[in-house]
Amino acid sequence: MKSLVQVVLLCTLCGGGYGVPENVPYTPEIVPIRVPGRITQTTATLELPLCVFDNVETICRNCKVWLVVANDTGVSGFDSIKNGIVNPSQHTYQNAFMGTDGFYFTVKTRRDTYGCPTTTASTTQIFALRVGSEVPCRSPNCNAPLPTGGMFRMKYILFNPDIQTANVVGETRWTSQIKLLNARDPNDIVSSSGRRTGGMVVITTILAILLFLLLALFAAMLAMFCCKKSSKSDFPESITTIGSLRKYNTHNLQHKRDLVTPKGKI
């Protein structure tokens, strides 16, 4: 009788292919506010699950950590399949938002990658995962950009690929609702020129006056230069001094004493 009960229990747990993932008391959170771009139109930045799954399924050497991203309907959709045999390749980004799933698996990572950081790590260092940062999408479970302005919840799960029964062996809690940003309509953007303050008006007036004075100074300098140039004659000054005249003796008169007046007897 005891053997029969053991067989029934074994069939219930293994043959039926259902089990319960171990719940880890950890809730993923968005990184602190000092990190730029923590939430954008298509991405959200989560803290990494460091040390979270260290004590879950410790004998599993090939366990992987997956991130599950879900919209409102996807939360209940994942919860309905997590106790059975799950194939992550069947729950992709395309099926989540173009089909009926409402959730998808992405960012597969070895569990030991999320081990506890060393004691030498800086206390100000932040380990983060940007959800929606993979462009272009090169695999079925790629980390593709999220729909703009959508609302999502996320969790990490521990997945054992070596068993043929319930292979989701651990899970964290769901995050709170994460609201992505919406792009503003260009028609709704008000130009700053329509909202000028008194200080802007004063500065604009002063600059206009300075520009007018600069132009006036330039015009005055130009007028002075033109007047100075026009006062000069185009003809050279006449020679009036005697000392500037030169005396020339023709060659044919130099040997005729009667025609040439000696010096000093003019």
pLDDT at 172 over 60: yes
pLDDT digits (tens, 9 = 90+) for 221-236: 888 888 876 665 555 5
Closest CA to 56 of 162, 165, 160: 160
Q: What is the mean pLDDT of residues 136-146?
A: 92
Q: What is the mean pLDDT of residues 142-150?
A: 94
Q: How far apart are the first and last CA of the chain?
A: 170
Residue 226: its pLDDT value, please?
Answer: 83
Residue 212: its pLDDT value, please?
Answer: 92
For residues 132 and 149, give the distance between their C-alpha atoms in angstroms, rounded to a whole number.
13
Instruction: For residue 34, tell me if it sits in a domain.
Output: yes
Q: What is the mean pLDDT of residues 157-166?
A: 94
CA distances from 120 to 114, 116, 123, 126, 265 (A): 16, 11, 9, 14, 120
| Higher per-residue confidence, 3 vs 196 | 196
Instruction: For residue 228, tell me if it sits in a domain.
Output: no
Residue 183: its pLDDT value, please?
Answer: 77
**CATH number, position 88:** 2.60.40.10
| Higher per-residue confidence, 11 vs 180 | 180
Residue 209: its pLDDT value, please?
Answer: 93
- Region of 185 (left: φ > 0; alpha: ψ -120 to 50; beta: rest) is beta
Q: Which of the listed ranges 61-70, 108-117, 214-223 does the model predict with the highest average pLDDT? A: 61-70
User: What residues are paired with 155 via a beta bridge?
Assistant: 68
| Higher per-residue confidence, 24 vs 262 | 24
User: What residues are paired with 69 via a beta bridge?
Assistant: 104, 154
Q: What is the mean pLDDT of residues 158-181?
A: 95
Residue 2: its pLDDT value, please?
Answer: 45
Instruction: For residue 12, tell me if it sits in a domain.
Output: no
For residues 13 and 164, give the distance between their C-alpha atoms in angstroms, rounded to a whole number.
12
pLDDT at 15 over 80: no
Instruction: For residue 254, tell me if it sits in a domain.
Output: no
Residue 6 amino acid letter: Q
Residue 124: its pLDDT value, please?
Answer: 62
- Find out whether 172 and 163 touch, Cβ atoms under 8 Å: no
191 pLDDT band, cuts 50/70/90, is: low
For residues 205 and 228, give the distance between their C-alpha atoms in angstroms, rounded to a whole number.
35
User: What residues are paired with 65 via a beta bridge?
Assistant: 109, 158
- Find out whether 132 and 145 touch, Cβ atoms under 8 Å: yes
Residue 65: its pLDDT value, please?
Answer: 97
pLDDT at 114 over 90: yes
Instruction: For residue 187, tell me if it sits in a domain.
Output: no
Closest CA to 31 of 55, 50, 13: 50
pLDDT digits (tens, 9 = 90+) for 31-63: 987 788 899 999 999 999 999 999 999 899 899
Instruction: For residue 220, tell me if it sits in a domain.
Output: no
For residues 111 and 154, give the distance between their C-alpha atoms in angstroms, rounded to a whole number.
18
Whole-model pTM over 0.75: no
Instruction: For residue 6, tell me if it sits in a domain.
Output: no
Closest CA to 85 of 172, 170, 164, 171: 164
Domain assignment of residue 48, given as a range: 21-181
The number of distinct structural domains making up the chain is 1
In the chain, % of residues over pLDDT 90: 50
Instruction: For residue 227, tell me if it sits in a domain.
Output: no
Residue 148: its pLDDT value, please?
Answer: 92
Residues 6+ apart with CB under 8 A from 155: 28, 67, 68, 171, 172, 173, 174, 175
